[in-house]
């Protein structure tokens, strides 16, 4: 049969308690300390990752704001360049129209001056022919036969002068 001795049980319980206390002192505390340190390191890593994420989101927001400013600035520059080009275009067109008007006015003046000179020249030539004819008529005694002859000579002479 089984023989149970109380003192053996007491010694066994005492031994278990001592063993438990020793395990707790030498094993559980260092293991718990290592686990707490590891837990703290993991928490620190999570916190730093969260901080880095927040910082990257702030940098992203800042970058997007700067990019929007750059796009806005580019749009302003493009708009100003377009306005300047339109203004230059209008000035060039206005200058060309003014120059064309000036050239047309000068050409009209030249044409009018040449026309006046041609009229004066024709009037002077006609007056000269009239004076020449009158002088010849007066210098001759005119009869019908000589008038006809004289008129033919004059016409031939005037025709020869105009052909030259």
The pLDDT > 70 percentage for the chain reads 90
pLDDT band at 143 (very low <50, low <70, confident <90, very high): low
**C-alpha span between 23 and 17 (Å, rounded):** 10
Residue 157 in this model has a pLDDT that exceeds 80: no
Considering the entire predicted model, what is its pTM? 0.42
25 to 12, 19, 31, 39: CA distances (angstroms): 20, 10, 10, 20
Q: What is the pLDDT of residue 86?
A: 93
Residue 130 has pLDDT above 90, yes or no: no
For 70-114, the pLDDT digits (tens) are 999 999 999 999 999 999 999 999 999 999 999 999 999 999 999
Q: What percent helix, strand, coil does the chain show, rounded to 5?
A: 95, 0, 5
pLDDT of residue 148: 73
Question: Does the pLDDT value for residue 164 go beyond 70?
Answer: no
- What pLDDT, on the 0 to 100 scale, is given for residue 80? 94
Tokens of 60: 């992203």
Whether residue 142 contacts residue 149, with contact meaning beta carbons closer than 8 Å, is answered with no
pLDDT at 139: 65
Tens-digit pLDDT profile for residues 13-46: 999 999 999 998 888 888 989 999 999 999 999 9
| pLDDT over 70 at 161, yes or no | no
């Amino acid at each position: 049969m089984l023989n149970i001795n109380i003192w053996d049980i007491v010694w066994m319980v005492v031994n278990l308690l001592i063993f438990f206390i020793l395990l707790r002192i030498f094993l559980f505390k260092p293991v718990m300390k290592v686990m707490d340190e590891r837990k703290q390191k993991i928490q620190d890593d999570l916190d730093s990752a969260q901080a880095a994420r927040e910082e990257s989101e702030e940098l992203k927001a800042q970058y997007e704001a700067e990019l929007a400013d750059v796009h806005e600035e580019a749009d302003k520059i493009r708009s100003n360049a377009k306005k300047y080009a339109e203004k230059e275009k209008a000035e060039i067109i206005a200058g060309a129209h003014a120059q064309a008007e000036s050239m047309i006015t000068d050409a009209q003046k030249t044409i009018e001056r040449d026309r006046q000179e041609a009229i004066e020249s024709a009037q002077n030539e006609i007056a000269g022919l009239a004076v020449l004819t009158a002088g010849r008529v007066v210098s001759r005694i005119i009869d019908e036969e000589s008038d006809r002859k004289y008129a033919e000579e004059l016409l031939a002479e005037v025709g020869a002068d105009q052909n030259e």
